Structure 1
Amino acid sequence: MEKELNKLDILKIKTKKSIPSLFTLSNMACGLMALLSVAQEQFVVGCYFIIGSYIMDILDGRVARLIGAETEMGIELDSLSDWLSFGIAPAYMMYEFALKGYGIVAYPVVLIYVICGALRLARFNLKSLSGENTKKFFQGLPIPAAAGVIVFFILSYSLIEDDIPAKSINILSKQMPFLYGIFPFIMIGISLLMVSSVPYVALKSGNIFKIKSPVSLLVAVSIIFLIIFYPQNSLFIFFILYALSGIIYFFYKLFFKRNEEN
């Protein structure tokens, strides 16, 4: 009887630990579906599958912490899923969408992004296992944010191709052809930011979204308004600004420290 109870307890523990992995594997499945969609030249559908990966990626960590089922295997599996969904899938998507015309020159751009994404995730895992990661800041641009720049650029550009001006921010729409032309450089930039030591506020911590004053409330309402009425454009702007925020903060800290020393 006691052995049966022990077996039942072990089964409960294993089941509990496997629940977050269902979300992680769903993340991976969405990444694969994004690749298959791009192979059929269904870029918008592919983007929405990657957005599905975002949702699963947020849920797996939250569920694991909620039920106390965080494991080393879960961390590794999460990184593999993220590399597929936010590394390989967006890189291939961008290649087919805009870089293919550059010929062999496009290969290093895509390769740099995928390699930097893998290095970023490997570094994150090492820091997580050694307890060096902080909840407030990340070292280097997180790979989901880098993928966000690509995904929401494609969705924003698709609005122009589909001739839907009502859903576009006019100023941004006019800049889309220019951004399309320089996107290889943008892609290299976000790739290098992933492996940099530039600090980024951890979006999952929720600190960035705290309302601390009437001004921050006004900004929050404005952002919500933009996301509701111009989701593709506003989220593209958000991810670009987030990518730039780390650089601005890095130089601000550098300048501030120098002033203190002087």
Structure 2
Amino acid sequence: MSEKLKKGIYIMPSLFTCGNISCGCLSVISSINGNFTKAAWLLIFAIAFDMMDGRIARLTKTTSEFGVQLDSLSDLTSFGIAPSIMIYQLVLNSMGKIGQSIAVLFVLCSALRLAKFNIRANDKEVHSFFMGLPTPASAGLLISFVLSYELFIADPGQSLTFKTIPILMKSMPVFFKTMPVVMMLLSLLMVSNVPYISFKKMEFSKPKVFRLLILMVFLIWLIITFPQNIIFIFFTLYAFSGIFTYATKYWKIFKRIYSSKVEKKNNGN
């Protein structure tokens, strides 16, 4: 009985990972069919599955090498290939070979980012920071741009498709001009050494769990009530948080070196 239960627990996180990769594949199909709003929401569900599988594996102490590799493959599908195809179909296909190269660059950097993460995961230690922007966060920022389309149309029930792209071009012209640059920046951030905070060390058993629960409920309520706004704000702030931390770190180093030089100069005089 205990052996069956143990096998069932191992299956649980893998089922969520399979939910992640399934949403990614369905998102690709939706993007190919030109239903970009559906493609974006499927990737939101993929992010939710991705957040849950690792947490369940750690809580049930069923982390395994198989789970790490399966999770990595699902992340490449859902947060590398799927958003790249979505933005290519929406924006980059009008740029010819340049658009193709930007889409491929995003996928390649996603793969490199995940490979680097797997190397760090081999030490079996849960780190406080990620090195480089996580793939779900980079995909989330692209998703938020697509979902924000609904804020600029008169008909709230109208989805973003091939037919409604001209409306998007009129209401959000900056979107089409900045998206190639945004994708390249996100690609570089994924393979950089910019530190990003990891939420994996959040312990639900500690005394602060009640306040954390209230915060999570409030955040979920905000996402349900104002999905486009909150998703965009969250992923944008997260992307800039690492850059701010990185810049602050080197600013402090620069100030320390500069102060040391000034002090030596004053002592020499």
Where do 1:38-49 residues align within 5 Å? 38-49=31-42
SS of residue paired to 2:96: helix
Q: Which of 87, 90, 101 matches 1:94?
A: 87
8 Å CA contact 2:113–2:132 kept in 1: the answer is yes
AA aligned to 1:85 is S
Q: Which residue of 2 aligns with 1:144?
A: 136
Q: Which of 114, 123, 127 matches 1:121?
A: 114
Give the gaps of 5 or more residues in structure 1: 1-7, 165-173, 213-218
Assess, with a 3 A threshold, how the Cα gap between structure 1 residues 17 and 226 changes in structure 2: closer, same or farther.
closer
- Larger mean CA deviation between 77-86 and 220-229 belongs to 220-229
- Larger mean CA deviation between 244-253 and 176-185 belongs to 176-185
**How many residues were matched structurally?**
236
8 Å CA contact 1:38–1:96 kept in 2: the answer is yes
Matched, 1:245 2:241: yes
Q: Which residue of 1 aligns with 2:9?
A: 16
Assess, with a 3 A threshold, how the Cα gap between structure 1 residues 243 and 29 changes in structure 2: closer, same or farther.
same
Instruction: Give the TM-score normalised by structure 1.
Output: 0.81
Q: CA RMSD in A?
A: 2.8
Could you say which structure has the higher helix fraction?
A: 1
Q: Which of 148, 157, 161 matches 1:156?
A: 148
Q: Which residue of 2 aligns with 1:202?
A: 198
Q: Which of 150, 174, 180 matches 2:176?
A: 180
Residues 197-218 of structure 1: CA deviation (Å, up to 9, x unaligned): 00011144459xxxx9xxxxxx
Matched, 1:189 2:185: yes
Instruction: Give the TM-score normalised by structure 2.
Output: 0.79
Q: C-alpha displacement at 1:257, in angstroms?
A: 2.3
Task: Name the CA distance, whole Å, in 2 between partners of 1:55 and 1:223.
Answer: 14
AA aligned to 1:63 is I
SS of residue paired to 1:130: coil
8 Å CA contact 2:131–2:196 kept in 1: the answer is yes
Q: Which residue of 1 aligns with 2:250?
A: 254
Assess, with a 3 A threshold, how the Cα gap between structure 1 residues 235 and 175 changes in structure 2: closer, same or farther.
farther
Q: Which residue of 2 aligns with 1:53?
A: 46
Q: Which of 91, 96, 102 matches 1:103?
A: 96
Q: C-alpha displacement at 1:145, in angstroms?
A: 0.3
Assess, with a 3 A threshold, how the Cα gap between structure 1 residues 123 and 77 changes in structure 2: closer, same or farther.
same
Task: Name the CA distance, whole Å, in 2 between partners of 1:224 and 1:29.
Answer: 23
